[in-house]
Chains A and B, each alone.
Chain A
Amino acid sequence: GENVEQHPSTLSVQEGDSAVIKCTYSDSASNYFPWYKQELGKRPQLIIDIRSNVGEKKDQRIAVTLNKTAKHFSLHITETQPEDSAVYFCAASKTNFGNEKLTFGTGTRLTIIP
């Protein structure tokens, strides 16, 4: 089955700086890669996603890049703000195969230092 590795497990950055979180996946058939943000005591919330036919996607301060050959994808947050502090999870799935289950990475605890 699919295996998703995520690094780093913790990350502290100064407010205003950029944060990068990296994930690798094992199943070359995976074609959908969402990122979730989970604040303390809350449910995971989708913040951005990318499909395998796209190399990069951006939404304001958040961007995701995908390298299918190397089987890795990354989350980039620019101009970080205190409200970006949370745990971030990457995930991978094979959609349109009737098997849309998500395999999650282990999570990154991001702390923004004011």
Chain B
Amino acid sequence: SAVISQKPSRDICQRGTSLTIQCQVDSQVTMMFWYRQQPGQSLTLIATANQGSEATYESGFVIDKFPISRPNLTFSTLTVSNMSPEDSSIYLCSLLGGATAETQYFGPGTRLLVL
């Protein structure tokens, strides 16, 4: 399966600032996903990012707050803009893999704490 890395692994940020999270994959993938996992909670999909097209956002998430880039088939970034303490979460990227490309595999996550 593909190797997925994320940078940074964790960060502490001040409210009002922005953080860009990077997701790097060691093979080319069409669909990438960005999830948020709030403390002690389940995973919630933020958006789906396909290379060469605008990201598709889920209800409750907007591009101005979570802009996403997908410049090529191995890389994506998620920016958390104008952060508030409510944005403190783990942010994970994922991709489709496996024999039938149905299975999602997750990156190690980025732990964000907003003060």
Chain B, interface SS category: strand
Q: Which residue of A lies closest to B33 (CB)?
A: A101
- Say yes or no: is B75 at the interface (Cβ < 8 Å to chain A): no
Stretch at the interface among B12-20, B63-71, B76-84, B105-113: B105-113
Q: Which residue of B lies closest to A99 (CB)?
A: B48
Chain A interfacial residues counted at CB < 8 A = 21
**A44 and B106 contact, Cβ closer than 8 Å, known pairs A101-B33, A104-B43:** yes
Q: Which residues of B contact A100 (CB under 8 A)?
A: 31, 96, 102, 104
CB-based contact B103/A46 at 8 Å: yes
Residues of chain A from 24 to 39 with CB closer than 8 A to chain B in the complex: 32, 34
CA distance A90 to B59 in the complex (A): 21
Say which size band chain B's interface belongs to: 20 to 34
CB-based contact B92/A43 at 8 Å: yes
Q: Which residues of B contact A93 (CB under 8 A)?
A: 102
Residues of chain A from 43 to 64 with CB closer than 8 A to chain B in the complex: 43-46, 49, 51
Q: Which residues of B contact A95 (CB under 8 A)?
A: 100, 102
**A32 and B42 contact, Cβ closer than 8 Å, known pairs A100-B96, A101-B33:** no
- Say yes or no: is B114 at the interface (Cβ < 8 Å to chain A): no
CB-defined interface of B50-63 with A at 8 Å, one 1/0 digit per residue? 00000000110000
6 nearest A-B residue pairs (beta carbon): A43-B106, A95-B102, A104-B42, A104-B43, A106-B42, A107-B42
